[in-house]
Structures are given as structure tokens and as C-alpha cells.
Amino acid sequence: MPKALITGITGQDGSYLAEFLLRQGYDVVGMVRRTSTINFHRLMHIQDKITLVNGDLLDQISLIHILEEHRHDEIYNLAAQSFVQTSWTQPVFTGEVTALGVTRLLDAVRIVNPQIRFYQASSSEMFGKVREVPQKETTPFYPRSPYGVAKVYGHWITVNYRESYNLHAVSGILFNHESPRRGLEFVTRKITHHVAKIKLGLAHELRLGNLDSRRDWGFAGDYVDAMWRMLQRDDPADYVVATGETHSVQDFLEEAFGYVNLDWRDYVVQDPRFMRPAEVDLLVGDASKAGRELGWEPRVTFAELVRMMVDADTKMVEDGGTPM
């Protein structure tokens, strides 16, 4: 039975990847950091099938101990301070976790067992002020946030450890991917959660920032499959994972409100608090290398994704449940 470690298992992608690896017959170990309240709500349905261990990307000793104790075949490094807006107010912390955290983990791999295959969660945010459209593996980076800058570091240190120490370390440059398990602060989930509350009469407005920015939005469940495929190849390489379609925040609003027969213009208020000091205006990825070499392609369309999220939020709000 292959054994995998997932850092960031309590997050959106971590929960989908854990489910995916369990279906592939893996022994799944998830690293969680110590918190005063338990935040395993995305994992509750599979908690008895996985092993959770304590560790933190800020503490390299904890990483070395985990690798020594569990002897993994694969590591998926999904842990990060992943909210772009917060990276302006906590730039140093973001750098410690999202940039230097990658080095701490890579170096633990080098020390404990350089045979472990390593996946780094790189991001389309690295393209920032885009140098070409669509963006592919060879497109130069121009990050526009402390988060994007930290991810560029994480990306290059992964490439560097592959080239310096011959590690099987790969970097997946994933474009935005969403789901009913997306954090409530990200724009897609913020919209679908508000649509559900407005429809049910529990909210009356939605305050947002820039409605013109365009993103390449896919479904998280499709994207974790690409992560796994990257580690199954004997020849480590980096891949862009995207749908190849781009939509504005306003398109997302139209699709989500329209689905429940409401007009978004009646509810959305633009609020400077949600504007960013520097914006990424347009992202759209070219995932043809992943298609060719990994046999990967996205399955869920933009409209299906929006509807899936609105349906899930409506059910959750109706049931009075806790957000995933």
C-alpha cells in the first residue's frame, strides 16, 4: 500500500486529495497544526480512514519527525497562507509559511529520504501581471501580491532541489479551483453563500471589491487528480492545470444569481475594503502539456461549478449547517 503525506489536509484541496488517494488504495497521513479549536469539518466523513499527525511548516523539527516516523512514498505540500488579500497585511508570515515552508519540507525530504516524491502547490498567481495570454509553463512570472511572490519562491526552490539533489520534486501551477468546500472568504464561495442566504431571506446585500477581474475557474475535485498524475510519472516535470476558459467576477455573479432567478445588480454593493493594492486582472491557462503528458482534462464546466456551489450552499443554509 503506497503511503502519502498531505500537508494542508484540513483545507479545500487537502480534503479532496485525501478522498482521491483513499480511492486509489493509499495509506493517507495528514499533517495538521495545533489549534485551540478543532477544524476538521472538511474531513469528518473520512477521519476514521486517515491518520492525522501534528506538525507545522514553521517548525522543521516537526517535519523531520513526521517523515522519520511514517516513511512516506509521496508528499503533497498543499499547506500555505493561501488568501491573497491577507498577504498584504501579513507579508512576513506569508513568506515564512508559503515560501520558506517549502524549503523546510524539501530539506526534510533530502535529509530523511530523498526517494520520496514531492508535489508543490504552485499557483497561477505567479503570472500576476501576465506576460502572455494564455499562460503556460514557460510564461515568465510577474507576481502582484506578497502571496504571489512567496509562491514564486516556493516554485523555484522546488525546481532547484530537483536539479541540485536529484529529488523527484514537481510543481503544479494550478489556476483557481473552487468547490462547495472553498473557504468563505474567496470570491466564488462568498458569492454562492450570499446567493443562498439572500434567496432564503437571511441576507439583503453582498459587498464585493473588483468585479472586472477575470479568472480561469475549475473544480477542485478535478484538479487533485492532476496532482496525483504528476507524481506517477518517472520523469519529474512542472505542469499548468487550468480549464482554458476565463470569466469575470461579474460573469460569476450573473450565473449564480441568475440560477435562482435573481438579478445581482439588486444586491451587490462595491466596497473599497475588498479592493487590492495591486490586482491580477486576467488569468487563463493553457493546460495542453498536462493533457498530452498526463492525460488530464477538466470535467466540470463553469456553469456546472457555479450551480453545484449554489446548490450546496442552499442546502447548507436551509439545514442550518456549518459551512464546509
Residue 171 interacting with ligand NDP (CB under 6 A): no
Which residue reads 473520512 in cell numbers?
46
Span from 128-136, 175-183, 292-300, 304-312 in contact with ligand NDP (CB under 6 A): 175-183
Which residue type does 245 have?
Answer: E
Nearest one of 213, 218, 210 to 174, comparing CA atoms: 218
Shortest reach from residue 136's CB to ligand NDP, in Å = 15
Residue 243 interacting with ligand NDP (CB under 6 A): no
Q: Which residues partner with 4 through β-bridges?
A: 28, 74
All residues at 6 or more sequence positions from 293 whose CB lies less than 8 Å from its CB, including other chains: 233, 237, 239
Nearest one of 68, 69, 99, 63 to 81, comparing CA atoms: 99
Shortest reach from residue 215's CB to ligand GDR, in Å = 6
Interface of this chain with ligand GDR, residues 94 to 133, rule: CB under 6 A:
123-125
Interface of this chain with ligand GDR, residues 256 to 275, rule: CB under 6 A:
274
Binding mask 63-102 for ligand NDP (x = CB under 6 A): ---------------xxxxx--------------x-----
Nearest one of 83, 310, 75 to 179, comparing CA atoms: 310
Interface of this chain with ligand GDR, residues 53 to 92, rule: CB under 6 A:
82, 84-85
Residue 233 binding: pick among ligand NDP, ligand GDR, none (C-beta 5-8 Å cut-off by kind): none
Residue 153 interacting with ligand GDR (CB under 6 A): no
Residue 170 interacting with ligand NDP (CB under 6 A): no
Q: What is the DSSP string of 159-213?
A: HHHHHHH--EEEEEEEPPEE-TTS-TTSHHHHHHHHHHHHHTTS---EEES-S--
Nearest one of 309, 101, 39 to 195, comparing CA atoms: 309
Residue 276 interacting with ligand GDR (CB under 6 A): yes
Phi, psi of 260 (to 5 degrees): -105, 25
Residue 158 interacting with ligand NDP (CB under 6 A): no
Residue of 17, 102, 109, 208 interacting with ligand GDR (CB under 6 A)? 208
Span from 2-10, 110-118, 163-171, 265-273 in contact with ligand NDP (CB under 6 A): 2-10
Strand order in the sheet with 239-241: 51-54, 27-32, 3-7, 74-77, 117-123, 168-174, 239-241
Which residue reads 514537481 in cell numbers?
170
Give the count of residues interacting with ligand NDP (CB under 6 A).
Answer: 25
Shortest reach from residue 159's CB to ligand GDR, in Å = 18
CB contact burial 34-66 (16+ within 10 A = b; e otherwise): eeeeeeeebbeebeeebeeeebbbeebebbbbb
Q: Which residue is nearest to ligand NDP (CB)?
A: 11
Shortest reach from residue 133's CB to ligand NDP, in Å = 18
Query: In the complex with ligand NDP, which residue's Cβ is closer, 40 or 267?
Result: 40
SS3 131: coil
Query: Sign of dihedral through CA atoms 2, 178, 190, 256?
Result: negative
Residue of 60, 87, 94, 123 interacting with ligand NDP (CB under 6 A)? 123
Shortest reach from residue 112's CB to ligand GDR, in Å = 28
Residues with catalytic function: 123, 125, 147
Residue of 68, 69, 163, 185 interacting with ligand GDR (CB under 6 A)? 185
Residue 227 interacting with ligand NDP (CB under 6 A): no
State the residues that interact with ligand NDP by CB under 6 A: 7-8, 10-14, 33, 35, 39, 56-58, 78-82, 97, 121, 123, 174, 176-177, 183
